[in-house]
Amino acid sequence: MSEYSHKEIEKKWQQYWDQNQVFRVNNDSDRPKYYVLDMFPYPSGAGLHVGHPLGYIASDIYARYKRQKGFNVLHPMGFDSFGLPAEQYAIQTGQHPAVTTRDNIARYIEQLKNLGFSYDWSREVRTSEPSYYRWTQWIFMELFNSWYNLAEDRAEEITSLISAFEKNGNLTVQAVCDEDTPSFDAATWSGWDEETKYRITLKYRLTYVADATVNWCAGLGSVLSNDEVKDGLSERGGFPVEQKQMRQWMMRISSYAQRLLDGLDTVDWSESLKEQQRNWIGRSVGALVKFQLEGHEEKIEVFTTRVDTIYGVSFMVIAPEHELVSKITTSEQQAEISAYIEMTKKRSERDRMSDVKTVSGAFTGAYVINPFNGTQIPVYIADYVLAGYGTGAVMAVPSGDQRDWNFAKHFDLPIIPILDAQKNIEKEADNTKEGRYINSGMIDGLTFAEANEKLIAYLEENNMGKGKINYRIRDAVFGRQRYWGEPVPVYYKNDSQGQALPYLIDEDSLPLNLPSVDKYLPTESGEPPLGRAQDWAHESGSPYELSTMPGWAGSSWYWYRYMDPKNEDAFASKEAIGYWKAVDLYIGGTEHATGHLLYSRFWNKFLKDRGYVLEEEPFKKLINQGMIQGRSNFVYRIKNADQTKPVFVSAGLKDQYEVTALHVDVNIVENEILDLERFKASRRDLFADNADFILEEGKYICGVEVEKMSKSKFNVVNPDDIVTRYGADTLRLYEMFLGPLEQAKPWNTNGIDGTYRFIKKLWRLFYSEHGKYLVVDEPASEAALKVLHKTIKKVETDIENFSFNTAVSAFMMCVNELGSLKCHNKDLLEQLVILISSYAPHIAEELWVILGHEPGSVSQAQFPVWEQKYVVDAVFEYPVQINGKVRITMPFALETSVADIQSEVLANETVQKWMEGKPAKKIIVVPKRIVNVVI
């Protein structure tokens, strides 16, 4: 074939890769390993649009590059295939979600294969397959069988907790447990019957059942996690979400709060992503302070990050849900308090946190005593204090905290001035003078840090409180009242008090298969859909758990399954895990910043604690690709005309009329010019076939706007259409060319022609327009070698820095220059083909074979090595002066930047010797003249 035809080339090579399993990888090799992972997709009914493959293209280029650099590369793909959309569709159509899921996956695979990704498809996983979810269920069982040992700072098997109880009860063990866990000694423990003992252990297990306030979405019939709720509505479907108390499976992720924070310092992720996780975990260093209630035995404990403001406390506020409210409210205040509590029930936690304007609350009639100065302090309830955070009680300091100040103003409470030493420090321009407290009792004259230290020590000595680190992260809800998810491998048996206790099913009976149901809706009595399953009970006759696992269960460990996807004895063999260890490069969207990426890190740490995996952090390097936005086109309909005989006016003339802008399908617009015939034929709903058009120079020009890519905006571009027209190689190059990987950018089909022309120019280096084979077996010219080697250097550095767009520009320049040099030399072109093969693999394979190589082997060819002599144009020997005396000369290429010269000069050993360890005050570079270092 002598003319470039993407249609012929691409299908051929995709089939070749498939049939010959070119990208199949083994779990052992002499070469070093490298694991490149994509966030696996949920296979939705709509298929892929051009925004989806952006990250996949980048990771594929990197995986192919690493192979050519001599690595054994694991690059798999699979499907996160449990989830709500398939179930919603099942409710509407009665179609089993397994069927739609299977069809959608088939379509996804076809689309992905069309793009020439180098996945090892033999390792594909699907989270909704029993052979997969039996291991999700198994991990759940392991969590149930574990507790968190704070002394060792890791999870351990529950048996070690029971041994500790047998020795000392729970008096010496340091464990994460429920708040209502009683204290008991060894004798008490051994006196209990098995059932009581079991009930006690339930308070320690890493997954447990509890009454939790959950985001209940009646529209979806399910509980949602915080990150699935946006502005009080469900992210999917936009149904209202309310707060509700429900018995739920929970995961004790909060045990791992500190390790989840610490681990962030060891991974190569963007600062913004780490910051999002840090905020979500929300570490606060502070103190617990106990305030004695007047006329009651109890004390109210508050959590404060500013114990130094204790002399400015003028009232206390507790959450309306605080357990002491009913006890301490005086009879005069009862009516007001009850009315207030009724009101707050309607507000979600989110509203309560975000509403900083409305001030509301009610006085309980009770008082507490400030333990530091004995003043009497009134106790209020108000919903700005959250029941679930800290102790659900705050000491209010109007002079230190804005919300407290607003509250004090509203209720006419005293505002005690404090000299806030911390704020003082910030205010002082001269930081040699540190702010110190005055009028503040025992902290007079101290700085902020000293004051806090002294107060906390005092609290601890006098049993009035203690230092405390608080985390905002809550235990994660792990139950959904839905059908299309993993069954929880648990059944319930009533204890002697008639209370249902959860028990794990036998490990041998895994997987616990998802049963068939007649409808995918809750039962008449309001139980989840699994309540409809016939004959679905444990062999003992006891009922199974009816909720299923949340969407994040299957995705919290999937990267291990790829290591050993067919294993029936373990989620992955020790050998496979020992070989691949962790993901070296992970690419995916920012929407998973606090959901998937926290849950996965949590399960990974747990699996490591229990000895099943090796690494503390699963994803060493992570890159978030930016969103590809849609580029919408508009037509303008003149208002007030007869709707059945509409008039559309071209964009440039629209200001002369009163118009309504309407989205048009971007696929019938080219270079902003509307294809009138297709518009008329496709938009009968707008009576377009009957319309008049006011044109500009004979054309209808559309308006343009950048928006989210979405069906409703008619701006979805299907990669299949692009591939049919231009080929996958062009699409791959073009998506990378659009801009830096991590940036959001609009899709614009208009520019793709340029990339397509580039591919054809590449072909022209091999064949003339008349189909003549041009390649000659002679050494290339010096000029051509310079072009090649500079390109190799640039492309290599760019890929290493994930700067894929600049590498594409480098290819374009290179091919242009080689074209002008009429370079057709075999050796040189071979190198170029290898270099470009990670970006445009199909054409590269074809050209590689044309050059006389074995099919398929370009992906394993060695990445070209650039030579110094070709990449430096000219060098200048810089005399380097140190305090006016020339001590050394250093050669730099003329294009070297000033900053690079400066850093290399400072790093030079001789220069350092002359600097005698002193810092450089100045370093002046006069290009092509001299470098002068002043110390």
Positions in the binding site for ligand ANZ (CB under 6 A): 284, 303-306, 309, 385-386, 389-390, 392, 394-395, 397, 400-401, 470
User: Are the beta carbons of 895 and 876 closer than 8 angstroms?
Assistant: no
How many Cα atoms within 13 Å fall on the side-chain side of residue 268?
Answer: 9
If we measure between CA atoms, which residue out of 129, 155, 128 comes closest to residue 144? 155
Q: How many residues does the chain have?
A: 935
- Helix, coil or strand: residue 121: helix
Residues 6+ apart with CB under 8 A from 847: 763, 766, 829, 833
**CA 75 to CA 77: how far, in whole Å?**
7
As a whole number of Å, the end-to-end CA separation of the chain is 67
| Cβ pair 859, 841 in contact under 8 A | yes
Backbone angles phi, psi at 13, to 5 degrees: -75, -35
The residue written with tokens 């008090």 in the block is 497
When the beta carbons of 134 and 306 are compared against ligand ANZ, the nearer one is: 306
Beta strands in 111-220 (DSSP E): 146-149, 154-157, 207-217
Residue 338 C-beta: closest distance to ligand ANZ, Å: 21
Q: Measured from the CB of residue 377, what is the shortest distance to ligand ANZ in angstroms?
A: 12
Q: How far is the CB of 242 from ligand ANZ (least distance, A)?
A: 21
Q: How far is the CB of 311 from ligand ANZ (least distance, A)?
A: 11
Segment (H or E) for 189: helix 186-191
Q: Please, what is the minimum distance in Å from the beta carbon of residue 174 to ligand ANZ?
A: 23
Closer by beta carbon to ligand ANZ, 401 or else 486 = 401
What sign does the dihedral 834-835-838-843 (CA atoms) show?
negative
Nearer to ligand ANZ, 9 or 381 (CB): 381
Q: How far apart are CB 206 and ligand ANZ at their closest, in Å?
A: 25
CB of 208 to ligand ANZ, least distance (A): 23
Main-chain dihedrals φ then ψ at residue 768, nearest 5 degrees = -75, 170
Beta partners for residue 169, in sequence order: none
Q: How far is the CB of 655 from ligand ANZ (least distance, A)?
A: 51
CB of 447 to ligand ANZ, least distance (A): 16
The least CB distance from residue 877 to ligand ANZ, in Å, is: 58
Q: What is the full DSSP assignment across 21-70?
A: TTT---S--SSPEEEEEEPPPP--TT---TTTHHHHHHHHHHHHHHHHTT
As to burial, measured by CB atoms within 10 angstroms (0-12 exposed, 13-18 middle, 19+ buried), residue 908 is middle
Q: Report in angstroms how near the CB of residue 197 gets to ligand ANZ at its nearest.
A: 34
| CB closer to ligand ANZ out of 315 and 766 | 315
Smallest separation (angstroms) from ligand ANZ to the CB of 676: 60
- Between CA 652 and CA 657 the distance in angstroms is 11
When the beta carbons of 114 and 309 are compared against ligand ANZ, the nearer one is: 309
Positive or negative torsion for Cα 122, 123, 128, 130 = positive
Amino acid sitting at position 479:
G
Minimum CB separation of residue 407 from ligand ANZ in Å reads 11
Whichever of 214 and 396 has its CB closer to ligand ANZ, that residue is: 396
Query: Which residues fall within 8 angstroms of residue 872, CB to CB, at 6 or more apart?
Result: 893
Cβ at position 176, least distance to ligand ANZ in Å: 19
Name which of 105 and 397 has its Cβ closer to ligand ANZ: 397
Based on CB atoms, which residue is closest to ligand ANZ, 386 or 695? 386
Q: Is 417 exposed, middle or buried (0-12, 13-18, 19+ CB in 10 A)?
A: exposed
DSSP label at residue 924? E
Based on CB atoms, which residue is closest to ligand ANZ, 315 or 389? 389
Round to whole Å and give the CA distance between 557 and 572.
11
d(CA 184, CA 171): 7
Query: At closest approach, how far in Å is the CB of 177 from ligand ANZ?
Result: 21
Question: Closer CB to ligand ANZ, residue 394 or residue 882?
Answer: 394
- Closer CB to ligand ANZ, 258 or 908, in the complex: 258
Closest by CA position to 492, among listed 209, 223, 246: 209
Q: Report the run of H or E that residue 410 belongs to, with start and end.
A: helix 402-411
Residue closer to ligand ANZ (CB basis): 217 or 395: 395
Min separation Cβ 449 and ligand ANZ, Å = 16
- Identify which of 920, 892, 887, 894 has the alpha carbon closest to the alpha carbon of residue 904: 892
Q: How far apart are CA 649 and CA 755, in angstroms?
A: 33
Q: Who's near 506: CB < 8 A, 6+ residues apart?
A: none
Instruction: Report which of 721, 718, 742 is spatially closest to residue 801, judged by C-alpha positions.
Output: 742
Q: Which residues make Cβ contacts (< 8 Å) with residue 486, sequence separation at least 6?
A: 82, 127, 133, 136, 137, 140, 514, 548, 549, 553, 554
Which is nearer to ligand ANZ, 283 or 581 (by Cβ)? 283
Tell me the closest approach of the beta carbon of residue 322 to ligand ANZ, in angstroms.
Answer: 9
C-alpha–C-alpha distance, residues 424 and 437, integer Å? 9
* Shorter beta-carbon distance to ligand ANZ: residue 377 or 818: 377
Q: Are 792 and 869 in contact (CB under 8 A)?
A: no
Residue nearer to ligand ANZ on the CB measure, 322 or 637: 322
Q: Sign of the CA dihedral 891, 897, 899, 903?
A: negative
Q: Decide whether 376 or 402 has the Cβ nearer to ligand ANZ.
A: 402
CB of 247 to ligand ANZ, least distance (A): 24
CA distances from 314 to 48, 368, 413, 442 (A): 59, 11, 7, 18
Residue (170 or 470) nearer to ligand ANZ, CB: 470
